[in-house]
Amino acid sequence: MLKKRKKKLKQIESLAVHIELTYSCNNRCFYCYNENHKPISMSMNKAKLLIQKIEDYVYTRSFPINIVITGGEPFENIDVLYYMYEKLSNIPNLSISINTNLATNDLTKIQELEKLKKQDEQIHFFVSIPSMFEGIYNKITCNTNYKFFIRNLEYILSKPEVFSIVSNIVVNNYNKDTLIKSIMLMKLIGINEFKMSPLKSKQTSNEIFTLLNKAIKFSKKLDMIFHGFATPFILTNKQKRSIDYQELKEYEIRNCGAGNTHFSITPQGFLTPCSAISSKHRFFNILETNNEFIP
């Protein structure tokens, strides 16, 4: 673990933090760093401590703070997800989003979350969409949850007064040939906002980025909103998916597929620049008594 850092964020105008409720996931995407973590989850006691830390921090700050509830798959730690969302919703000057694959086989989990919606607000989702085509979806996710994903997606899109969606596509060798068609299908079913995360390797880098530019031009013709390239995923031999931490400038915001971020908080409570890097680069555990939410 790194020694405790005393640096302050440089006069930020906003703060974006990812809270990882679990490393458990119902998909096993071949590029995902989750394969390198044990499937641990945040306990309810840790969630309560974290909420208190966030409340103490927010009430002493004047700038907006965005929190993304993520995983793993947050619907795999459903009780903590409900608790976290409800408590965070009551904190002023705070915006909340949920990063999910929407592949849960239990639709009632989404319907119960819907009951926590505040009046005149929406529940905001960042949705990972490997592909809109079943065969490609199953190949990328190493699973057969496509029917649940489509059912849940259609349910959410049928309630625009309740839910909003920004999708993210990790563009790779499996889905690159159908990327344009997937974007077209997303538009047809009602998804108007998206990001793309390029999967980089020596063999595919130039080809992938050429394709991404074509996809952006196509989406503009459909009047879709493109939110930019998310942090590239770098495929390595040692780690199925790894974001090179040396490329991440300390305390600067990054455009991630799960929503912009300055920091991530692990299920154990460790503060880290990104969960896709080695655990040895964690800063410290913010749930310990003497540690502030963000230094």
Query: Does residue 235 lie in a domain region?
Result: yes
Query: Does residue 265 lie in a domain region?
Result: yes
Express each pLDDT in 26-78 by its tens digit: 999 988 877 777 889 999 999 999 999 999 888 887 788 899 999 999 999 99
Residues 74, 41 contacting (CB under 8 angstroms): no
- In 3D space, the residue among 175, 204, 227, 253 whose CA is nearest the CA of residue 17 turns out to be 253
Query: Does residue 183 lie in a domain region?
Result: yes
- In 3D space, the residue among 285, 195, 269, 290 whose CA is nearest the CA of residue 233 turns out to be 195
Least confident span in 23-32, 197-206, 223-232, 244-253: 244-253
Spell out the alpha helix ranges (H) of the chain. Answer: 44-58, 78-89, 107-114, 134-141, 146-157, 179-189, 205-221
pLDDT, averaged across the chain: 85
Number of domains comprising the chain: 1
Domain at 217, CATH number: 3.20.20.70
Percentage, residues of the chain above pLDDT 90: 57
Query: Does residue 106 lie in a domain region?
Result: yes
- In 3D space, the residue among 209, 284, 258 whose CA is nearest the CA of residue 6 turns out to be 284
Percentage, residues of the chain above pLDDT 70: 82
Query: Does residue 292 lie in a domain region?
Result: no
- The rounded distance, in Å, linking the Cα atoms of 234 and 232 is 6
pLDDT for the residue numbered 4: 43
Query: Does residue 208 lie in a domain region?
Result: yes
The range of the structural domain enclosing residue 165 comes to: 15-285
pLDDT for the residue numbered 289: 66
> Which tokens is 50 given?
């974290």
Query: Does residue 3 lie in a domain region?
Result: no
- The rounded distance, in Å, linking the Cα atoms of 286 and 269 is 6
Average pLDDT over residues 157-176: 95
